[in-house]
Structure 1
Amino acid sequence: MPRVLYINEKFGHDATIILDSGDACWISVGKKGVLIRSHKHSFWGGLLGSLFGPKLYQERDVYRALSVAQAILATFRPVPQIRCRDAMLKAFCTAVWHCPSPARVKTVLHDPALLTA
């Protein structure tokens, strides 16, 4: 089962979720859009992975990211472990939570059907 490593809403809006595969996904939501990166779960992997890990998803258009977030909330069931006040961060964390691997995260978030949900 995936687990939330941390959620930060005080000094930015980001979170890290450890997937079933053992990989970590760092989710960052801000005024400039959404960025999700993958990295191996370790101290150095977490520190450097959020900066240099492979990008799984990036959307610089905030309005498009918001429509994807709304589609995610309509598609996936809520996760009680994800306690965010920021609706967009909560949505992207929920999508990542429901994926077993980084490859699946990339596939799900780039699915055109998600935009039409």
Structure 2
Amino acid sequence: MPRLLYINEKFGHDATIILDSGDACWISVGKKGVLVRSHRHSFWGGLLGGLFGPKLYQERNIYQALSVAQALAATVRPVPQIRCKDMMLRAFCTTVWQCSSPERVKAVLNDPALLAA
């Protein structure tokens, strides 16, 4: 079962979720779009993975990111552990939570229709 490492809504909007595979996914939602990166969960990976890990999803057009977030929110079931006030962050976190590996996260975020599969 995945676990939530942290959610930050005070100084930016980001979160880190540890997937079943042991990889961590860092999700960042901001005024300039959405970025999701993957890294191995460890002390240094936790500090630097969000900066240097491979990009799984990036959308620089905030309106397109909002459209994807709305599609994701309409498709995924709520997760009680994820209590974000920000709808976009909650939608992306919930979707990442329901994926078992970074490869699945990348596939689903880049083609939300795969969630139904």
- TM-score normalised per structure 2: 0.95
User: Which segments of structure 1 move beyond 6 Å, counting only runs of 4 or more?
Assistant: none
In structure 2, stretches of 5+ residues that fail to align are: none
What RMSD in Å do the two structures reach over aligned CA positions?
A: 1.0
1:39-54 mapped onto 2 (5 Å cutoff)? 39-54=39-54
Shift of 1:113: 3.0
Give 1:71's aligned amino acid.
A
Identical aligned residues as a percent: 83
- State the partner residue of 1:107: 107
TM, length-normalised to structure 1: 0.95
Give CA-to-partner distance per residue, 1:16-62, whole Å, 9 cap, x none.
Answer: 00000000000000000000000000110011100000000000000
- Report the number of matched residues: 114
- 1:113 maps to a residue whose letter is A
List gaps (5 residues or longer) in structure 1: none
Q: Which amino acid aligns with 1:42?
A: S
- What is the SS of the residue equivalent to 1:92? helix
